Amino acid sequence: MAERYGLDADQLEALGHELDALRERTVADLGEADVAYLRRVIRLQRGLGAGGRAALFLGWLPPFWVAGTAALAVSKILDNMEIGHNVMHGQYEWTKDPSLTAKAFEWDTACPGDQWRHSHNYLHHTYTNILGKDRDVGYGVLRMTEEEPWRPQHRLNPVAATLLALFFQYGVMLHDVEFERILAGDKTLAQAWPVLREGLAKSGRQGLKDYVLWPLLTGPLFLSTLAANFTANAIRNVWAFTIIFCGHFPDGTQVFTEQECEGESKGHWYFRQMLGSANLAGGRLLHLMSGNLSHQIEHHLFPDVPAHRYAEMAPEVRALCERFGLPYNTGSLRSQFGTVVRKIVRLGRP
C-alpha cells in the first residue's frame, strides 16, 4: 500500500519520527489546564443530567419535556464521547488521579468498560482497518468495503445500519461476543457466554435505572419520563453512530490486508492510521460533542493524548500529509455522512 504513494521504508521511518516528535512535544506540555478542561466538561455533563432529571418532574408541560430530554441526551453524549471514551483510552493516566484512571472509569452505556477497552482500545486501535483483524469494519453485521465478498444478507445493509444506529449502545455491548463467529461455527455460545453474561448484566442495570427507577421517581409522570429516557438514549446512540462511522467509513478511507501489514514498522502503523481514518470540519461545539473524534485521524495517531489537544496537532499532521504525498481526508459532517450512507446502500447490492 505504501508503494502506491511512493513511500519506501526510509520515508515511512522518517514519517514515524516526525509524528513521534509531535506527540512528545504535546505530552511534555500537558498540565493543570488539561485537567481543568476535563473537570469543566464533567461539571457540565453532571449539571445537564441533573437539570434534565429535574425538568422531567414537570414533564406534563411540553417545553419541560423537550428541555429535559435534550439535556439528558447531551449529558449522555458528553459522558460517552468527551469523558468516557477519552478517559478509558488512558489519556489522563499521567495525572495519577484515581477518578481519571482508565480501568476505574465506568460509563453510562450498555457496554462494560473492560469489554470496550479490549474490543476498541486493543483490537481496533492495534489492527485498524486490517481485514480479518479489525472487527470494527462493519461491526460484524454490515458490508462496509468492496473487499468483503457480497452475501445475500447484505441486501439488508440499510436496515441493519438503521437498527444499529438506533440501538448502538447494545451493538457495542454485543461486539466482543462475536456472534458472526458463532453463526459461522468458529466459536461456541458456551465460549461467548462469560462476555455475553457480563454485557447483559450491565445492560440490565442500565435498563433498570433508565426505564424503571427514574420513571418511578416522577410518580404519575412514569410514562412521560420513560419516553424521555428512551428518546435521550436513542439520540445519543444515533449521534455516536454518526460520528464513529464518519470517522471510519467515508469515501477515501482505506483497508489493508494482513500481508500488507506483516512485520510493519512504527512508521507503517502511523501510515495505516492516516489512511484508515477521516476527520470532520467544524467548530468547537462539534469537537466537544464528538469527543474530538471529529479529529479521528489525530485520534488514531495519538489515542492516549488528551483529545482536546487534537485541534492544535491537526495542522502539523495535515502539513506532514502534504509533505509525504498522503491524503488528509476531511469534510463537513453532512458531506462525510452522505458518503457513508451511499456506501451502506451501494455495498448492500450484489
Amino acid present at 263: G
Q: Report the Cα 35 to chain-centroid distance in Å.
A: 22
pLDDT at 184 over 90: no
pLDDT 10s digits, 277-321: 999 999 999 999 999 999 999 999 999 999 999 999 999 999 999
CA distances to 122, 264, 281, 310 from 9, rounded to whole Å, are: 25, 10, 32, 27
- 181: burial class by Cβ within 10 Å (0-12, 13-18, 19+)? middle
- 270: burial class by Cβ within 10 Å (0-12, 13-18, 19+)? buried
pLDDT at 275 over 90: yes
The pLDDT value recorded for residue 187 is 87
- Residue 179 pLDDT grade (very low, low, confident, very high; cuts 50, 70, 90): confident
pTM of the predicted structure, to 2 decimals = 0.95
Cell numbers standing for residue 228: 424521555
Please tell me which residue, 6 or 203, carries the higher pLDDT value.
Answer: 203
pLDDT at 36 over 80: yes
Measured between alpha carbons, how far apart are the two ends of the chain, in Å? 26
If you average pLDDT over residues 49-72, what whole number do you get? 96
Residue 62's CB: how many other CB atoms inside 10 A?
Answer: 8
Q: Could you please report the per-residue DSSP string of 251-262?
A: TT---B-TTTTT
- Residue 4 pLDDT grade (very low, low, confident, very high; cuts 50, 70, 90): confident
Phi/psi for 130 (5° steps) reads: -90, 115
The pLDDT value recorded for residue 264 is 93
